[in-house]
Amino acid sequence: MLRQAARPLSSTEIGSREIQQLIQEMKETMHEAPGVGLAAPQVGHSLQLAVIEDRPEYTKDAPREQLEARERVSVPFHVVINPKLTLLTEPAIEFFEGCLSLPGFMAVVPRARKVRVECLDENAKPQVIEASGWYARILQHEIDHLRGTLYVDRMHSRTLTTLENYNGYWKEKTMAEVKKILAADYRK
């Protein structure tokens, strides 16, 4: 299911008890993981539906410089249904990403710094989201899931690492340091 394009939801479906219950279950699953986003295909439903929330406690111990470099700020819980994604910049901002569907791994993925998403919310009301930085990355990652794409399809393959190695070696490094190390290793 992770490799298939998900189907859109009708307004009637969005308001149904089944979809509202699915949204609540996805929110709980995302919090338990913990994660900042979860798409319906990740929990066995081929639907264009994702939940997103970047909670303040996820970044409370992160260095200020790291948060600034990633343009990472808290994002309140919300639902994205039937999204249309427009990249407002080229996919040139690179950072490590992971995924709840591929636990235990991280890799550097280029993403657009700014995006616009036209979608429906959990009440089938039209929404336009303009996002930048880490929030834009989350949106791109989750919308990729709705298209059958995983971050490993976009990653720089030489950067694939285990979560343990990322936490022990790469996590505190800037992207400039990561690129310098990888370039030096490549030349050897």
Give me the sign of the Cα torsion angle 61, 64, 67, 72: positive
pLDDT of residue 63: 86
Can you give the residue range of the structural domain that contains 87?
A: 11-187
102 in a structural domain: yes
Q: Rounded mean pLDDT of the chain?
A: 94
186 has a pLDDT exceeding 90: no
33 in a structural domain: yes
* Residue type (1 letter), 71: E
pLDDT of residue 66: 87
Residue tagged 């189907």 (tokens): 7
Comparison of pLDDT for 92 and 17, the residue scoring more: 17
Q: Yes or no: say if 160 and 107 are a contact pair by the CB < 8 Å rule.
A: yes
Please, how many CA atoms are within 13 Å of residue 169, restricted to the half-sphere of its CB? 12
98 has a pLDDT exceeding 80: yes
4 in a structural domain: no
- Mean pLDDT, rounded, for 77-102: 95
| DSSP string for 99-131 | -TTSTTEEEEEEEESEEEEEEE-TTS-EEEEEE
1 in a structural domain: no
Q: H-type helices in the chain, by residue range?
A: 11-14, 17-32, 64-70, 133-146, 163-165, 175-187
Q: pLDDT band for 187, please (50, 70, 90 cuts).
A: low
Contacts of 113 (CB under 8 A, 6+ apart): 71, 88, 89, 92, 93, 132, 133, 136
2 in a structural domain: no
- Mean pLDDT, rounded, for 78-94: 95
6 in a structural domain: no
5 in a structural domain: no
Catalytic one of 142, 164, 172, 177: 142
| CATH code, domain with 18 | 3.90.45.10
Q: pLDDT by residue (tens digit) across 23-41?
A: 999 999 999 999 999 999 9
48 has a pLDDT exceeding 90: yes
| 10 phi, psi to nearest 5 deg | -80, 160
User: CA 112 → CA 38, 69, 134, distances in Å?
Assistant: 20, 14, 10
Instruction: State how far the Cα of 162 lies from the Cα of 70, in Å rounded to an integer.
Output: 21
- Mean pLDDT, rounded, for 68-92: 95
The question of whether 142 is a catalytic residue gets the answer yes
174 has a pLDDT exceeding 70: yes
84 in a structural domain: yes
Number of domains in the chain: 1
Q: pLDDT band for 46, please (50, 70, 90 cuts).
A: very high
Instruction: State how far the Cα of 38 lies from the Cα of 29, in Å rounded to an integer.
Output: 8
